Amino acid sequence: MTDRGRPGEKGSSSPRPPAGGGGAKLLLSRLRALMANQAQDPKRLERVVELIANTMVADVCSIYLRSEDESLLLMATQGLRPEAVGRTRMKENEGLVGLVSSTARPLRLTDAFSHPRFSYRPETGEDPFHSFLGVPILRGGRVLGVVVVQNRTERAYDDEEAEALQTVAMVLAELVASAADTLSAGLRQTRPVELRGRAMNEGLASGVVHLYDPVVPPARLFAADPELEERRLNDALEALRNSIDAMLTRAGPVLFGESRDVLETYRLFAHDPSWEARLVEAVRTGLSAEAAVDRVRREHRARLENARDGFLRERLHDLEDLENRLLRQLNGDDGGGRVAPPGAILVASRIGPAELLEYRDAQLAGIALEEAGAGSHAAIVARAMGVPAVGGLTGLVTRAEDGDLMIIDGEGGVVHIRPEAEMMSSFQARVAISEQTQAELSRLRDEPARTTDGVEIDLYINAGLSFDLDHLDAVGAKGVGLFRTEFQFMASETMPGLDEQSQFYKSVIDRAGDRPVTFRTIDLGGDKIAPFMGRREREENPALGWRALRMALDHPFFFRRQLRALIRASRGKTLRLMFPMVATVEEFEAARRLLDSEMEWAVKFGRDLPNRLQVGAMVETPSLAFSIDQLKGKADFLSVGTNDLMQFFFAADRDNARLAGRYDLLSRPAMRLMQRMRQRADEASLPITVCGEAAGRPLEALALIALGYRKLSMQASRIAPVKLLVRSVDMAVLARDVQAVLDGPAPSIRNAMLSVAAGLGLKI
Ligand code: PEP
Ligand code: MG
């Protein structure tokens, strides 16, 4: 852009619109009067363009709206040829209008013709118009259309004019949304959309979309009394800041958690003068307080849609969350009580494990997320809830609308929004086949997981919610190999007390009957945040930070309470527990000492006692993987948490959707590590289980048993397929073939493993 068109621009004969925010204000008040009088007038768009052109002293003003085929159709113009209306159509990737639409950002040009994206449309007669200002008409993160002003002269539109047009665009969005005629043709998305992401939990389901955080449009657009609106905005801002400050300084157990980071970021934004200034500015143009917040939020959502940089995305998410909070504040709504109808598919941009747990009783049919990888804790909660889930679906929340029909394919990592009839019937056929397979698999329930040459493999389930225990019988598992106790904490508003904890553990033990349950002591931190978690310094790398056993050891009071609850709940039975994220033998010993002192306390005061105690260490850090010999005589068993172990082994964040699937347990270094650990555990006479997600994947499970693992713990739905495999192999042959793969030159162990499986006649 040249600076020819700056204020006092060369060759411009156009007078300038009023300055100092007055442009938007004047436009808005005229627009308001127009809308009040002619709300359902079929010619209202013509009047709107005329009004904008006159107020902004533009030679042209045009409105393009999205039509059902997603293209942008010229709906009204002042200044271009009237014959072009209803004829000139731009695709998303066509022309400057298409550019504004696809980037969802305003575009200002002094000379539109020299822009590489300029597309000449002779029917419009736009030859004389050099300068161009286009802004998207946004609603719910979606571009409904584009409003453009043009001038003959090569002039530069300033920030204020762009702002004014953006405010108008917001009003236009609501005008379109409330229209019952052709204007709103492109409003409700009707086209089927297929999005590919990553499977987080297997299974097939269909249901209606339930948006986790729907963008609710403001009830009122215009301020009746601008001063009053400004006061309302200021009060809401004040209340918002106070509530964030209160959350940050809330008394109670001073714990850990990334939530502090998030809250700190909220506080920073909430006190940011430029954010406030934007909101106030919007109110001063004549918008209601809600509409002003919404106006700013739309921009952030649109920027988020286009942001590729992870850090920027995070910040935009934070800002959007904050703006949603502010809107709720203005609506007097505390945000609680969100319920999904039974059988719905929960759709969210991102969701933490604790928020997801709020839906544990909602009978969801599936979960679809824009962010989150297969190894994330949201994925683990989805598995615990037993519903198909797909993550990493870019653009999901703007394409899916509340109430849309959706198919979720947790096998292929795909979702279909508004599927066509043929898609739906082929999906139903797949569901029927899968139900049949399930029925066949369930016949294995009472059969042993024994190889053809008589090697027995013990299969356990991973659990964390009490209803998980119902699966024990359904799938015929030996017991619970990993009970994630932190779920109870994540689902509680306040820290569960001793009684609450011990009752919960007792209910789990009772439901398991005589089958063993291995409790993993609390593993919070990283992305696992409990609502009551308070003060914590910002951590650059929370997964590598102060989490799990590390913080438990730093909070012995809190940790001992959990140990006491576990001891009490196991009265007269075996208590099996293990510690997560042990990095050194000393940490294990320190944790064990706390447990011993709790046992002594219970003995001394004649309290309930388990009749047997088995204490294990989770092997989740490479450092502990190389210390197994040192645990001899100190631990009673080991359990390999491959989810964490692999993230640390490969230095690859398990929650990062972009890294999902990039590093493989079925690779030479990881398999060597797994083999070595199993050998060291045998030498130290320590029983060893694998309880990471890998244990439940067929090919990985085969590799693990070939490497000598005899105990695998997995999500309940994986038991039957793994059992079927185990029952089909000859261990001696499998172990020999897998060793040959490991020792051989094969570049891809995964492919070589597939050949091994095929050679054994297995269907993977
Ligand atoms: C693991 O890390 O493999 C594990 C089982 O623990 P979580 O997934 O709960 O971190
Ligand atoms: Mg772990």
Residue 251, pLDDT > 60, answer: no
Which atom of ligand 1 sits closest to the CA of residue 526? 10
How is residue 71 written in tokens?
A: 């293209």
Closest ligand by atom to 692 CA: 1
Asked if residues 480 and 756 have their Cβ atoms less than 8 Å apart, the reply is no
For this structure, is 691 an active site residue?
yes
pLDDT at 374: 65
Residue 683, pLDDT > 60, answer: yes
Q: Count of alpha carbons within 13 Å of 253, Cβ hemisphere only?
A: 22
In terms of Cα–Cα distance, which of 657, 201, 616 is closest to 412? 201
Is the CB–ligand 1 distance for residue 375 below 6 Å? Answer: no
Q: What is the DSSP letter of 676?
A: H
Cβ-count burial of 754 within 10 angstroms (0-12 exposed, 13-18 middle, 19+ buried)? middle
> What does the pLDDT average to over 185-201?
81
Work out the number of other CB atoms within 10 angstroms of the CB of residue 179: 18
More confident residue, 406 or 262: 406
For the chain, give percent helix, strand, coil, nearest 5.
45, 15, 40
Is the CB–ligand 1 distance for residue 290 below 6 Å? Answer: no
Residue 645, pLDDT > 50, answer: yes
Asked if residues 683 and 440 have their Cβ atoms less than 8 Å apart, the reply is no
Catalytic one among 130, 317, 416, 691? 691
More confident residue, 669 or 655: 669
Cα three-residue angle 733-737-742, rounded to 5 degrees:
150
Given pLDDT bands bounded at 50, 70 and 90, which one contains residue 160?
A: confident
Quote the ligand 1 centre to 347 CA distance (angstroms): 25
**Digit-coded pLDDT (tens) for 611-630:** 999 999 999 999 999 999 99
In terms of Cα–Cα distance, which of 320, 307, 62 is closest to 169? 62
pLDDT at 535: 43
In terms of Cα–Cα distance, which of 554, 185, 526 is closest to 378? 526
Given pLDDT bands bounded at 50, 70 and 90, which one contains residue 22?
A: low
Cα three-residue angle 263-553-536, rounded to 5 degrees:
15
> What does the pLDDT average to over 317-329?
81
> What does the pLDDT average to over 234-243?
90
Quote the ligand 2 centre to 642 CA distance (angstroms): 7
More confident residue, 682 or 159: 682
Asked if residues 341 and 389 have their Cβ atoms less than 8 Å apart, the reply is no
Given pLDDT bands bounded at 50, 70 and 90, which one contains residue 468?
A: confident
Quote the ligand 2 centre to 594 CA distance (angstroms): 21
More confident residue, 114 or 260: 114
Is the CB–ligand 1 distance for residue 620 below 6 Å? Answer: yes
Given pLDDT bands bounded at 50, 70 and 90, which one contains residue 262?
A: low
Probe target for ligand 1 pocket from 523, 649, 715, with the most ligand atoms within 8 Å of CB: 523
Cβ-count burial of 116 within 10 angstroms (0-12 exposed, 13-18 middle, 19+ buried)? exposed
Is the CB–ligand 1 distance for residue 521 below 6 Å? Answer: no
Quote the ligand 2 centre to 643 CA distance (angstroms): 6
Is the CB–ligand 1 distance for residue 539 below 6 Å? Answer: no
β-bridge partners, 576: 518, 614
> One-letter amino acid identity for 321?
D
Probe target for ligand 1 pocket from 528, 618, 690, 709, with the most ligand atoms within 8 Å of CB: 618
* Atom 8, ligand 1: residue with shortest CA distance: 643
Given pLDDT bands bounded at 50, 70 and 90, which one contains residue 181?
A: low
Residue 319, pLDDT > 50, answer: yes
pLDDT at 19: 38
Between β-strands 60-66 and 612-619, what pairing exists: parallel, antiparallel or unpaired? unpaired
In terms of Cα–Cα distance, which of 580, 722, 656, 641 is closest to 379? 656
Q: Taking all residues of the chain, what is their mean pLDDT, rounded to a whole number?
A: 86
> For residues 352 and 578, what is the distance between their CA atoms, to the nearest angstrom?
25
Cα three-residue angle 553-551-572, rounded to 5 degrees:
55
β-bridge partners, 408: 205, 415
CA distance readout (Å), 297 to 140, 319, 544, 582:
9, 8, 33, 43
Asked if residues 344 and 365 have their Cβ atoms less than 8 Å apart, the reply is yes
In terms of Cα–Cα distance, which of 203, 196, 140 is closest to 416? 196
**Digit-coded pLDDT (tens) for 54-76:** 999 999 999 999 887 778 999 99
CA distance readout (Å), 387 to 205, 360, 747:
8, 10, 35
More confident residue, 216 or 744: 744
Quote the ligand 2 centre to 654 CA distance (angstroms): 10
Which of these ranges, 247-256, 361-370, 395-404, 487-496, has the smallest mean pLDDT? 247-256
Which of these ranges, 269-273, 337-341, 393-397, 684-688, has the smallest mean pLDDT? 337-341
Residue 405, pLDDT > 90, answer: yes
pLDDT at 579: 98
β-bridge partners, 519: 483, 577
Backbone angles phi, psi at 600, to 5 degrees: -60, -40
How is residue 610 written in tokens?
A: 């388990």
Catalytic one among 130, 210, 377, 416? 377
Between β-strands 405-409 and 204-211, what pairing exists: parallel, antiparallel or unpaired? antiparallel
Pick left, alpha or beta for residue 252 (phi over 0 → left; psi -120 to 50 → alpha; otherwise beta): left
Which atom of ligand 1 sits closest to the CA of residue 640? 3
294-305 residues labelled b (16+ CB within 10 A) or e (exposed): bbbbbbbbbbbb
Q: What is the pTM of this model?
A: 0.66
For this structure, is 61 an active site residue?
no
> For residues 519 and 508, what is the distance between their CA atoms, to the nearest angstrom?
10
β-bridge partners, 211: 347
> For residues 295 and 282, what is the distance between their CA atoms, to the nearest angstrom?
8
Q: Ligand 2 (ion): which residues have CB within 5 A?
A: 620, 641, 644
Residue 102, pLDDT > 80, answer: yes
Q: What is the DSSP letter of 254?
A: -
Is the CB–ligand 1 distance for residue 642 below 6 Å? Answer: yes
Beta-carbon contacts of residue 495 (< 8 Å; ≥ 6 apart): 252, 253, 255, 489, 530, 532, 558
Is the CB–ligand 1 distance for residue 692 below 6 Å? Answer: yes
Which of helix, strand or coil describes residue 456?
Answer: strand
Beta-carbon contacts of residue 618 (< 8 Å; ≥ 6 apart): 520, 578, 579, 580, 581, 582, 638, 639, 640, 641, 691
> One-letter amino acid identity for 24?
A
Residue 483, pLDDT > 90, answer: yes
